[in-house]
Structure 1
Amino acid sequence: MPEQTVNPKVSVILPTYNRARLLSRALESVLNQTYRDFELILIDDASTDETRQVIGRYHDKRIVYVYLEFRRGAACARNTGLKLARGVYIAFQDSDDEWFKEKLALQVPVLDSSPAEVGMVYSDYCRQEDGRTKQVILPKEASAIHNLLFHGNFIPIQCLVKKECFERIGFFDEELGRYQDWDLWLRISSVYQFVGLGQCLFKVYVQNEGISQDNRKRIAALERILEKNITQFAKRPSALAGQYYLLGRIYRREGQPTVAFKKHLKAFLLRPLNLKYCFFLLTCVLGGFLTGKIWRRKKT
């Protein structure tokens, strides 16, 4: 049985909520790493299923188990782990995903040998959805990462980050119901460089349920991220237009055509030659016209 190290080099933070049936896969993929100098901080976000019993089956001294009495959300759970972390590097794992055995062994030396301005190492990964698996290749050009992130998040949570980044930049924004990692990467990448590895080091299992389908949380999170970073987004009109377009699509799906029109109009004004933005603005106009026409006919 591995002994708990006094000062582990890596702190792995794994938040979970009611994922008892999936947790073993994620947990074992961490414990089975060929790199051994880590602690695994499991933050149980007030689970009501068999999560505690599942964790209790693992008698590994590297595990630090914390149970939160009230559900606080993934951002708070990760922040709780960050406050407890003793390692100089922080790794994140989701409770339904799987690390490959060499993940830490390949990532840790990168940060060890990188200059001070490098704060994170990430990698390509495999994505499994509906029984099909595909390899996801991520951008690697270090100088372009910060700008690319304004177009949307492409870096999964399963990265390795220097602890000093959080001490300098801050933790996850607990007011965000979605995209907490994107918000944090935007902040960290404004100060530190990221390094990308061209190897698939983990597998993401896409669950078509729950938070991924919650459009209202997506709207609230996108609006907050834009508000927090509007000065930086304004310097990147193409990225800003893309976020307005995305908001327009979501608002329309939520049955808010007026707000959707305003968002699509903003996207169009920023990029009037973009055919996609023109098309969706036109559909908003025509949709409103046709809806009004049908309504007037019903009244008569």
Structure 2
Amino acid sequence: MLNSPTISIITPTYNRAHLLPRMLDSIINQNYANWELVIADDGSKDNTEEVVLNYKDSRIRYFKSDNRGATVQRNFGVSKATGDYIIFLDSDDWVEKDWLEKLTSNLIPENNNVIVTCGWRKVNQNFNEIEKGYPENLGPMFNNLKLNFLSGTLLYPKKYFIEIGGYDEELPSGHHTEILIRLLYLIKKYKTQIKIIEHPLVNIYIHSGLRIRHNFDGIYQGSKLILNKHLGLFEKHPDKHFDYLSIIAVCAYRTGRTEESRKYSKKAITIKPFYYLSYVRYLIANTPLLGNKVWGKKR
């Protein structure tokens, strides 16, 4: 492996022309120079193209296609990437000047089976820090790996992404969790070394724009698909199985799927029959007045 490998940064974007300059400037100003930024524009209707093309840097590669969703664009972005390592960065976030320098300094010459993970900080619309996060133990279902997989926090070999087939384009939510489940096999297969940077290098912008955390229908559909797709794994880990059943039950109720909410609340009881919250959620799902008050209901 070269001492200075090319890092491919993949950024899907949609109608964020007003936010892109901050992200672009943070990449341009990196201490580490051997990078490329692949921007996959998901059919933006604003002046995103104009904003990006105003940056006269050959390392920035811009592609625009029809609106197909962020997951499709992430996969497309990797298909255009030329680097040995990839990292995903959302178009509304930005990174510290030494982001790539610190990530790449943890790569190991002659060993391309290395993953590097770092911390993050969340920033509100007034640019005040509201939370910090560091690589942490993800628990038994993820082989007790210690890492982050939010925007900009996970650098890994492009060959891994290609071998597992990229993101599941059918998922409306939970993309990062689901791809990590599939990455577990390769991490073990290649005896991957995980290098940890106990420092927040990525700024995650929390704003009022469209974000998946506000989309209860997307969370319901995505959580259900992930659970069904990896049911065998979830059955070996009751805590995570219970969590997903509970998420599905709550989001089902909030989107007017009351029968589904009752069904998944009841399933959760079978996973944790001695846990009081199992029965509390089942009661809420079966009591409309209580459910509407506690969880709310989509009209």
Q: In the alignment, which of 159, 163, 169 is matched to residue 168 of structure 1?
A: 163
* 1:199 and 2:199 matched: yes
Give the partner amino acid of 2:175.
Q
Aligned to 1:208: 208
Letter in 2 for 1:273: F
Partner of 1:13: 10
The AA in structure 1 aligned to 2:277 is K
| SS of equivalent residue, structure 2 residue 162 | helix
Cα distance in 1 for residues equivalent to 2:141 and 2:24: 30
Report % sequence identity.
28
- In 2 relative to 1, CA 154–285 (structure 1 residues): closer, same or farther, beyond 3 Å? farther
Q: CA RMSD in A?
A: 2.6
Secondary structure at the counterpart of residue 65 of structure 1: strand
CA deviations on 1:146-196 (whole Å, 9 max, x unpaired) are: 1469xxx96203121111211221211111122212211111123215443
1:88 aligned residue: 84
Q: Within 5 Å, give how 1:85-164 maps onto structure 2.
A: 85-112=81-108, 118=114, 120-129=115-124, 131=126, 132-141=128-137, 146-147=142-143, 155-158=149-152, 159-164=154-159
Instruction: Compare CA radii of gyration and give the structure with the larger one.
Output: 1
Q: Does 1:236 align with 2:237?
A: yes
Structure 1 runs of 4+ off > 6 angstroms? 288-291
Could you tell me how far 1:267 is from its partner in structure 2? 1.1
Is 1:52 aligned with 2:53? no
Find the aligned partners of 1:142 and 1:225 in 2 and give their Cα distance.
17
Gaps (5+ residues) in structure 2?
A: 293-299
Structure 1 unaligned regions, length at least 5: 1-6, 292-300
| 2:246 aligned with 1:245 | yes
Structure 2 residue identity aligned to 1:99: V
Give 1:179's match in structure 2, choosing from 169, 174, 177: 174
Contact conserved, 1:13 with 1:92, CA < 8 A, in 2?
A: yes
How many residues matched? 280
Aligned partners of 2:140 and 2:237 also within 8 Å:
no
The corresponding residue for 1:43 is 40
Deviation of the 1:287 alpha carbon: 3.7
My pick for the range that moved more, 14-23 or 271-280, is 271-280
Question: Residue by residue, what CA displacement relative to the aligned partner does 1:124-154 show, whole Å, maximum 9, x if unpaired?
Answer: 11102353423423344488571469xxx96
Distance 1:290 1:9 in 2: 52
Following TM superposition, by how much is the alpha carbon of 1:11 offset from its aligned partner in structure 2, in angstroms? 0.9
Q: Secondary structure at the match of 2:239?
A: helix
Q: What is the rounded CA distance, in whole Å, between the counterparts of 1:208 and 1:52 in structure 2?
A: 23
- Separation in structure 2 between the aligned mates of residue 54 and residue 197 of structure 1, nearest angstrom: 32
Distance 1:38 1:289 in 2: 53
Aligned AA (2:59): R
2:75 pairs with 1:79:
yes
Q: Are the equivalent residues in 2 in contact too, given 1:140–1:197 (CA < 8 A)?
A: no
Structure 1: distance between partners of 2:280 and 2:110:
46
Question: What letter corresponds to residue 183 of structure 2 in structure 1?
Answer: I
1:45·1:73 contact (CA, 8 Å) conserved in 2?
A: yes
Q: Which amino acid aligns with 1:166?
A: F
Match for 1:248: what amino acid? A
Shift in Å at residue 239 of structure 1?
Answer: 0.6
Alpha-carbon distance in 2 for matches of 1:142, 1:245? 19
The structure with more helix, counted as a fraction of residues: 1
Per-residue displacement from partner, 1:35-86 (whole Å, max 9, x unpaired)? 1111111111111101011012100111111111x11111111111111111
Is the CA contact 1:15–1:43 (under 8 Å) kept in the aligned structure 2?
A: yes
Question: Residues 103, 114 of structure 1: CA spacing in aligned structure 2 closer, same or farther, 3 A cutoff?
Answer: farther
Going from structure 1 to structure 2, the CA distance change for 1:113 and 1:236 (only over 3 Å counts) comes to farther
Quote the residue 2:296 is aligned against.
none
Counterpart-to-counterpart distance in 2, 1:41 and 1:130? 26
Greater mean alpha carbon deviation, residues 20-29 or residues 122-131 = 122-131
1:172 and 1:211 map into 2 onto residues whose CA distance is 18
Give the structure-2-normalised TM-score.
0.85
Specify whether residues 82 and 133 from structure 1 end up closer, same or farther in structure 2 by C-alpha distance, changes over 3 A only: same
